[in-house]
Amino acid sequence: GAGVSQTPSNKVTEKGKYVELRCDPISGHTALYWYRQSLGQGPEFLIYFQGTGAADDSGLPNDRFFAVRPEGSVSTLKIQRTERGDSAVYLCASSPNRLGTAGGPYNEQFFGPGTRLTVL
């Protein structure tokens, strides 16, 4: 079946512009995650959705970053007033449910190919 897809694959923008990055999770997956991977680093957590609601947005670096998932499927990560430091690969992952529960099953996160954002 289809995996997690992300569009666009590449986005080049100018400092100060607004960008939207889209994630299409695997059908039926209730959990959706956004991570950011800067050059030479591992992915860093940004936000986690369970259904339509953001269950954990503790990784968003500042209020220029916002994400939505209005119907519990597709998610959009929105970045206002982009800065050069926002340049990175933005990864989306989805999972059948949350990561795990005490004593319960573990749900694997399936990652998309990422969107490479370059801010000039």
- The contact set with other proteins (CB under 8 A) reads 3-4, 31, 33, 35, 40-45, 48, 50, 55-56, 58-59, 91, 93, 98-102, 106, 108-109, 111-114
- Label residue 53 exposed, middle or buried (CB < 10 Å: 0-12, 13-18, 19+): exposed
Report, in Å, the least distance between residue 1 CB and other proteins.
15
Report, in Å, the least distance between residue 14 CB and other proteins.
24
Q: Residue 18 or 66: which CB sits closer to other proteins?
A: 66
Extract the tokens encoding 95: 């999972």
Residue 69 near residue 32 (C-beta atoms within 8 A): yes
Q: Residue 1 or 14: which CB sits closer to other proteins?
A: 1
Q: Residue 4 or 119: which CB sits closer to other proteins?
A: 4
Report, in Å, the least distance between residue 81 CB and other proteins.
26
**Long-range contacts, stretch 55-61, CB < 8 angstroms, 24+ apart:** 55/98
Q: Residue 73 or 109: which CB sits closer to other proteins?
A: 109
Report, in Å, the least distance between residue 113 CB and other proteins.
4
Residue 65 near residue 117 (C-beta atoms within 8 A): no
Among residues 3, 60, 1, 69, the alpha carbon closest in space to that of 35 is found at 60
